[in-house]
Amino acid sequence: MRELSVKTESKIVLLVVDGLGGLPMDPYGRTELEAASTPNLDALAARSDLGLSRPVAAGVSPGSGPGHLGLFGYDPLRFRVGRGVLSALGVGFDLGHNDLAARINFATKDEAGKISDRRAGRIPTEKGQELVELLNENLKLDGIEVFLMHEKEYRAVAVFRGEGLSGALADSDPQRTGLDPLPVEPTEDSQEAQKSARIANAFVERADEILHDEHPANTVLVRGFGKHPALPSFEETYGLDAAAIASYPMYKGLARLAGMQLLKEGEGIAGEFETLRAGWNDHDFFFLHVKPTDAAGEDGDFERKASVIEEVDAQIPGLLDLGPDAVAITGDHATPAKMKSHSWHGVPVLIHSPYTLPTAEGFGERACAGGSLGVFPAEEIMGYLMGHALKLNRFGA
């Protein structure tokens, strides 16, 4: 890609409808996307290349991290991104390549030292903020800087800054109540991992002292350790000046990992498309992330998921009015209402440009299964977008 990509005036849009892929509730029925009334997506599909993407590997349900890395063209098996890194980037922390990030849960420990509530009674956001400030003011570790940032309710993120840290650490979260918190253990035999485990355990010990008189949030659980994966940026790989429009911290974090500039999003789906219009002249690649489809799928709410898809459909004419040169509309994975979870199923992909081989009358899983892109790895979507936007030189003589 790096060898072939050229800078041009053409503009690309990658519209990610989170958890777009679905299943029929009964085998003879229609999927969420098929059941939704989507006149604009259907008309676009009839002028587009279609296919089904496979996010990570056969049968493997991806998290949002690997799902998006694949869409951005990175090999999700090669680039592992810890939950802590996504949280740190999501709250806007300028994570350096030597920083070690971890997710923090405020939790409740009983008198016997057992975890009695892994979420500290879901303390309100204001309380969480207050506790993060308390920790930031009082927590000092020898030879290492610690930054604590609040996320939401009982959730926060810690960043450890120092030389020779490693993300090869297991969580302290015992996953069940009534158990002791686990000491943080290295998951590989290296000096860096051992040193990092010592630092993480000292951090938990010191936090326990500071939170001693608090209730219910009198301890912290740490999990999702990781370092910045040092992905090559969109600018390096594709020569693209990329912008991201996303309303959730994790997706902002993923976009920042790829070197995208975050645009200030408006309210709801319509607001995100408004942001796209406002920023249209300033970038040549736009990642726009729509979240509520996934949430509806996770809730098992087929109708609500279909209705969010209809809300996206209503924005398609406005998107096309901007005159993008190449557009992909897809998801990061399937979230079938039937399964109430992410799944491994094929994700519908629509790629539109003037250079397409249309195969169907509408947009849906089964139309995509017979499309001219076939069933293909999600990692290839960026290559197709670059080709359709005429941003790749010919390969070889």
- Per CB under 8 A, residues contacting its own copies are 4, 23-24, 27-28, 31, 46-47, 51-52, 56-67, 76, 80-83, 86, 224, 250, 336, 338-339, 341-346, 354-359, 365-366, 369-376, 380-388, 392, 394-397
CB 86 within 8 A of CB 248: no
E-strand spans in 139-193?
Answer: 145-152, 155-161
Closer by beta carbon to its own copies, 81 or else 156: 81
Residue 137 CB, nearest approach to its own copies (Å): 29
Omega cis (within 30) before 216: yes
How far is residue 67 from each of residues 128, 308, 321, 376, measured CA to CA in Å? 29, 20, 29, 14
Residue 108 CB, nearest approach to its own copies (Å): 24
Closer by beta carbon to its own copies, 70 or else 186: 70
Closer by beta carbon to its own copies, 238 or else 273: 238
Closer by beta carbon to its own copies, 279 or else 387: 387
Residue 163 CB, nearest approach to its own copies (Å): 26
Helix axes 381-388, 64-71, angle to 10 degrees: 30
Closer by beta carbon to its own copies, 102 or else 263: 102
Closer by beta carbon to its own copies, 195 or else 391: 391
Instruction: Please name which of 89, 221, 207 lies closest in space to residue 159, comparing C-alpha atoms.
Output: 89
Phi-psi region at 113: left, alpha or beta (left = phi > 0; alpha = psi -120 to 50):
left
Residue 116 CB, nearest approach to its own copies (Å): 26
CB 12 within 8 A of CB 324: yes
Closer by beta carbon to its own copies, 260 or else 392: 392
Residue 226 CB, nearest approach to its own copies (Å): 9
Sheet of 326-330, strands arranged across? 261-262, 242-245, 285-290, 12-17, 326-330, 347-352, 49-54, 374-377
What CA–CA distance (Å, rounded) separates 61 from 331?
A: 13
Residue 147 CB, nearest approach to its own copies (Å): 20
- As given in the structure block, the two tokens for residue 153 are 């309710």
Residue 205 CB, nearest approach to its own copies (Å): 26
Report how far Cα 258 is from the mean position of its chain's Cα atoms. Answer: 11
Residue 134 CB, nearest approach to its own copies (Å): 27
Residue 293 has phi, psi (to 5 degrees) of: -60, -45
What CA–CA distance (Å, rounded) separates 97 from 392?
A: 30
- Which SS3 state, helix, strand or coil, does residue 59 take? coil
Closer by beta carbon to its own copies, 283 or else 345: 345
CB 56 within 8 A of CB 62: yes
Closer by beta carbon to its own copies, 67 or else 181: 67
Burial class (CB in 10 A: 0-12, 13-18, 19+), 59: exposed
